[in-house]
Amino acid sequence: MKTKLTHLHQKITRIAGTNWGLNKDLRRRLFKTVAERMILHGAAAWAYPLSARQSRLINSIQRKFLLNITGAYSSIPTAALQIPQLSPFNTVFQAELLAIQEACLWASKTNQQIKVWSDRESSLHSIASIDTKSPIAQQTQEILLKSTNIKLGWINAHVGYSGNEAADVLVKKATQEGIPTFIPAARNHIKSLLQKESIIRWQKEWDNGETGRSVHNGLPKVKTTPTPWQRPEIMFVTGHVLFPTYLKRFNIRSSDSCGCGKLGNPLHYATSCMFTTSYHLTKPSADLEPLWWKRVMNNNNSRAKIKKLIHFIAENETLLFPKHGDNN
Ligand SMILES: [Zn+2]
């Protein structure tokens, strides 16, 4: 097929010259209707899976046609049509900016009026912005200041301008065989990496820490957004303020037991105290306690019950914790 298409290419060129004597739209239509159909004919049968060699071959066939369609000079060495290949930590935004910069750099060496088109508004905005943080955009601004023959413009990506489509083909090509090029990772990219890393470390500390273990059971995953918990749930999960176990620890009471005689911690009131039976949840076996906290705190019905329980305890303190255990 390569031979067939090369012949077709030579024939058209011989008959019509390098731009085939036609305007861009017609050239594009010619490629679409004749050559592309020849390439795609029976493609379903042979195109999948495409070997690296096959895909290189198709690229090299397409390149000839691309040059004619776009009006790029075929004397441009292959290297000039090769696009830098970036690292995985670079963003599409950086790639697009770099492409614009390369185009401006090339245009700055000629005296012709040249218009550089991009279908990415964000890149153009960044170049037009006086306080852009992107070094590539800043360098491009410098080129544009010195070279008044270059103009930038936006085109719609979905209208099918042949030059823009040709650029897309070249971009795909660059991901496979571009010249490896180093540009530092973008600010925002590094920022999000650091955020992820700090969450991982925070999570490790939270998992292996010694304090706040009952809270850890209810909230095993760290996150930067506040929990939807309200004060009652926080009191319950931390065991703070209301409970005899807490009051004893801070010497507000001399005993940590409930009025019923058992240890007065949150689990006691939520599952077994005889004074709070209307608010009871199922009692977990000792080894399933962490899981119980997690389930309870993530279940809306259980949390609603916990809220009522906390209100009940707050209102009936004197009943639940008899005065004789008090320090006052
Ligand atoms: Zn009790």
- Spell out the domains of the chain, with CATH numbers in brackets: 1-76 (no CATH), 83-185 (3.30.420.10), 213-320 (no CATH)
- The CA 273 to ligand 1 mean position distance, Å, reads 4
Structure tokens at 7: 């012949």
- The CA 246 to ligand 1 mean position distance, Å, reads 15
b/e code 190-224 from CB counts within 10 Å (16+ = b): eeeeeeeeeeeeeeeeeeeeeeeebbbbbbeebee
SS3 content of the chain, % helix, strand, coil (to 5): 60, 5, 35
Peptide bond into 49 cis (omega under 30): yes
Give the pLDDT of residue 46: 43
pLDDT in tens, 266-310: 899 999 998 899 999 988 888 888 888 888 888 889 989 999 999
- The CA 82 to ligand 1 mean position distance, Å, reads 78
- Tell me what percent of the residues of the chain surpass a pLDDT of 70: 72
- The CA 294 to ligand 1 mean position distance, Å, reads 23
- The CA 24 to ligand 1 mean position distance, Å, reads 87
Q: Is the pTM of this model over 0.75?
A: no
Ion ligand 1 residue ranges (Cβ < 5 Å): 258, 260, 273
Q: What is the mean pLDDT of residues 225-247?
A: 82
- The CA 116 to ligand 1 mean position distance, Å, reads 78
- The CA 281 to ligand 1 mean position distance, Å, reads 14
- The CA 272 to ligand 1 mean position distance, Å, reads 7
Measure the CA–CA gap between 133 and 101, rounded to whole angstroms: 15
- The CA 121 to ligand 1 mean position distance, Å, reads 66
pLDDT in tens, 168-189: 777 777 777 777 777 788 888 8
Give the pLDDT of residue 27: 53
Per the listing, tokens 């329980």 go with 309
- The CA 157 to ligand 1 mean position distance, Å, reads 70
- The CA 10 to ligand 1 mean position distance, Å, reads 95
Measure the CA–CA gap between 256 and 266, rounded to whole angstroms: 12
pLDDT in tens, 122-170: 889 999 888 888 889 999 999 998 988 998 888 887 777 877 777 777 7
